[in-house]
A = this chain, B = another copy of it.
């Protein structure tokens, strides 16, 4: 079986590394806009060779789209044009609605499976890829009823074989939930990093006074703007609502501080504490 991974970064690279462990005979072709990343991916054993898209895709059984979501939208129709009739295309993008709409407009839509593995780090590029990223994590598949049964079966089998747990929902549900559980936390973290940098001009102070608590909260502020700007843009309606909700709660909490309303402040934090119960175990996911 020949698998082509388009975009050999953190996610595409980690997926390939996990698959290689399970399927030593699978042949991996990498496609990447960056020659440096391509060479690094071969050197790191992520893929066997790097080829231009037009050569790689017609000879592949599986094509994995692991580029930023704006490029997925751009490349998906071209990839579907190029595949053989029996090949399967899967994307790993963090948004699903626009990507599925683009797929729906293509005559080979039935060979496409829309997927989103719930995993990542604040790092990017092939050097950030590691085989432990995906196992034990969740992956969401959308609109499977629009895909051929054999394509879904292949994609499901591969995710399961590398130890992922599969969930199913519509693209609209996916994007709404992700706005709250993922995209919002990225924005709050970017804004925290931005505020501290703008207002706390003495960098030595930041370094000396930052505890691991600050470091944890601001970790996602290190994430790649090239990856996240198009995600936020594609999911702008849900994200804008989530951000509006968040700002409203923050303003509410600020009045508790200003009014010295300790009881309201404690109640607010106690409600937030309930996240502990829900998340227990997430760090081990």
A interface residues, Cβ below 8 angstroms from B: 118-122, 137-138, 140, 165, 167, 177-178, 180-182, 184-200, 203, 205-223, 225-226, 228-230, 232-233, 236, 239-240, 242-247, 249-251, 253-254, 257-258, 260, 262, 265-266, 268-276, 278-279, 282-283, 285
Contacts and interface: CB of A to CB of B under 8 A. Distances in A.
Contact of A185 (B120, B137, B177, B213): B213
Nearest to A272: B193
Given A198-B271, A247-B250, 9 more contacts: A122-B276, A181-B196, A184-B195, A187-B250, A188-B192, A191-B253, A194-B249, A199-B245, A213-B219
Contacts of A285: 211-212
10 shortest interchain CB distances as A-B pairs: A193-B272, A225-B269, A193-B275, A185-B217, A222-B276, A190-B272, A221-B272, A194-B272, A215-B282, A225-B266
B272 A257 contact: no
17 contacts: A120-B211, A137-B211, A181-B200, A181-B209, A182-B210, A190-B269, A191-B246, A193-B273, A197-B274, A207-B282, A213-B219, A215-B279, A221-B272, A221-B276, A233-B265, A243-B250, A244-B254
A226 B221 CA distance: 29
Most buried by B among A242, A279, A283: A279
A236 B205 CA distance: 20
A222 to B, nearest CB: 4
A246 B250 contact: yes
Contacts of A219: 213, 216-217
A249 B217 contact: no
A257 B279 contact: no
Given A119-B211, A196-B180, A216-B216, A253 B187 contact: yes
This chain's copy number in the assembly:
2
Contacts of A212: 119-121, 282-283, 285
A210 B271 contact: no
Contacts of A223: 269, 273
B220 A243 contact: no
Contact of A195 (B180, B278, B283): B180
A209 B194 contact: no
Contact of A258 (B138, B216, B236, B246): B236
A195 B258 contact: no
A246 B217 CA distance: 14
Contacts of A122: 213, 276
A129 to B, nearest CB: 16
B177 A189 contact: no
